[in-house]
Amino acid sequence: MTKKIICPLLSVLLLTASVTGCKWDSDPPATGSNTPLEVAVKLIHTQPVTLTSELTGRVTSTMTSDVRPQVDGIIKQRLFTEGAEVKAGQVLYQIDPATYQASYDQALAQLKNAQATVVSSKLKADRYAELVKEKGVSKQDADDAKATYLQDVASVAQYKAALESAQINLNYTKVRAPISGRIGISSVTPGALVTASQTDALATIRTLDPIYVDLTQSSTELLKLRKQRKNTQLKGDIPVTITLEDGTTYAPQGRLELTEVSVDESTGSVTLRAVVPNPENTLLPGMYVRATVDDGVDTHGVLASQKGISRDVKGNAIAYVVDKDNKVEQRVVTTERVIGSDWLISKGLNEGDKLIVEGTSKIQPGMQVKAVVLDEKNESSAADTPPGVKK
């Protein structure tokens, strides 16, 4: 019984001795919780920023003309190669001229006859005018001779007009190109009957150099761009760069020629027309292209990395900056457009601000932080390394 009591008592005494013999530090070891969080920042600088707009559009020819006959007849010859370049005034089709040549010859003969008659009637009217003075003929006869002469003169004018009309119809048997350009497929062949009033074109000619590119832009965006252009250094022609359907850049640069004066009510868009050189006929009517239109240079533009701009629940753009006391400050900013990997900021950020671009998920407004400034050289490596951790 004595041994059973002594053993537990000894254990209690030993435990008491070990507790009273140990001394704890009054302050626990530092865990680093009071150390400011490191965040990566980029310094904001105002700089010249080239502004551009990305638009889509269709290629259209500068001039388009349907070739139609102006007289009736049978096509005797086709005098061009389909798909070739033609010049204004070039003969494209020959309509059988036989009947029109006969009408011309008839009108010419009638004119010559009338001209001969007017010579005779003039001599008679002059002779009667002299005889009436000597009372060799009556005044009535002299007046009749003069009236006959005047009628013959009018007949000459009438036959001249008929001859000109016959000449015009004869010339129309040669169907000529109204404009210069590239001609398409012919809808008729020799032997076909054509009429002056037909609606179907014999062929279509399109002028391809230079060529138009019609771009579409929303009316809202157009108003915004007009306001921006007032504040940018943009004078003279507005350059336009074309990107083809296969993604390649079209080498010749165009220029913006006009903006449509009305808005399409169904789409709310406005058409902008660019004139583009097309010496090799690379651009063809109907092609879908993309265009980059220069909107000028903002001499005091503010660019902010997209990594430093977030959105709140209302959709407002939010930026976090480090103030002069090294505390986090939240700002609502106004974003205009994306330029590369940056936002163009029109309001909310100023020269010298420290924009937090890394570590935004761990910060709150008013928190004390330590700013680590990134530059262009170490930004890419810092993006893979959490703030405060050395690679």
Q: Are 203 and 179 in contact (CB under 8 A)?
A: no
What is the residue extent of each domain of the chain?
37-50+300-383, 52-62+208-297, 72-95+175-200, 97-172
Residue 363's pLDDT is 86
Q: Is the peptide bond before 210 cis (omega within 30 degrees of 0)?
A: yes
Partners of 339 in beta bridges = 342
For the chain, the average pLDDT equals: 81
Look up the CATH architecture of domain 97-172: Orthogonal Bundle (1.10)
pLDDT at 97: 95
Residue 211 above 80 pLDDT?
yes
What pLDDT does residue 18 have? 44
Would you identify the CATH topology of the domain 37-50+300-383? Answer: 2.40.420
Q: Return the biggest CA–CA distance within the chain.
A: 194
Mean pLDDT of 198-208: 93
- The per-residue pLDDT for 31 is 39
CA dihedral 344, 350, 354, 360 (to 10 degrees): -50
How far from 34 is each of 39, 159, 363, CA to CA, in Å? 15, 113, 14
Mean pLDDT of 201-212: 93
Which residues neighbour 179 within 8 Å (Cβ) at sequence distance 6 or greater? Answer: 63, 65, 88, 205, 207
**What pLDDT sits at residue 191?**
93
List, for residues 55-74, the tens digit of each pLDDT value.
888 999 999 999 999 999 99
Determine the Cα–Cα distance for residues 347 and 79; give it in Å rounded to an integer. 66
* CATH number of the 52-62+208-297 domain: 2.40.30.170
Domain 72-95+175-200 belongs to what architecture?
A: Beta Barrel (2.40)
- Residue 259 in this model has a pLDDT that exceeds 80: no
pTM of the model: 0.63
User: Is residue 11 classed as helix, strand or coil in its secondary structure?
Assistant: helix
pLDDT at 6 over 80: no
Distance CA 63, CA 79 (A): 22
Q: Strand 193-194: give its sheet, edge to edge.
A: 174-176, 91-95, 73-78, 193-194
Distance CA 210, CA 86 (A): 15
Number of Cβ within a 10 Å radius of residue 370: 14
Main-chain phi, psi angles of 349, to 5 degrees: -125, 145
CA–CA separation, 276 and 274 (whole Å): 6
The answer to whether 218 and 271 have CB atoms below 8 angstroms apart is no
Q: What angle do CA 296, 302, 306 make, to 5 degrees?
A: 110
Give the pLDDT of residue 4.
Answer: 45
Average pLDDT over residues 324-347: 87
Place of tokens 């879908």: 288
Q: Do domains 52-62+208-297 and 72-95+175-200 have the same CATH topology?
A: no
Among 73-87, 150-164, 221-235, 322-336, the range scoring the smallest mean pLDDT is: 221-235
Mean pLDDT for 134-146 is: 84
Band (338; pLDDT cuts 50, 70, 90):
confident
8 A C-beta contact, residue 182 and residue 83: yes
Q: Which amino acid is at 298?
A: D
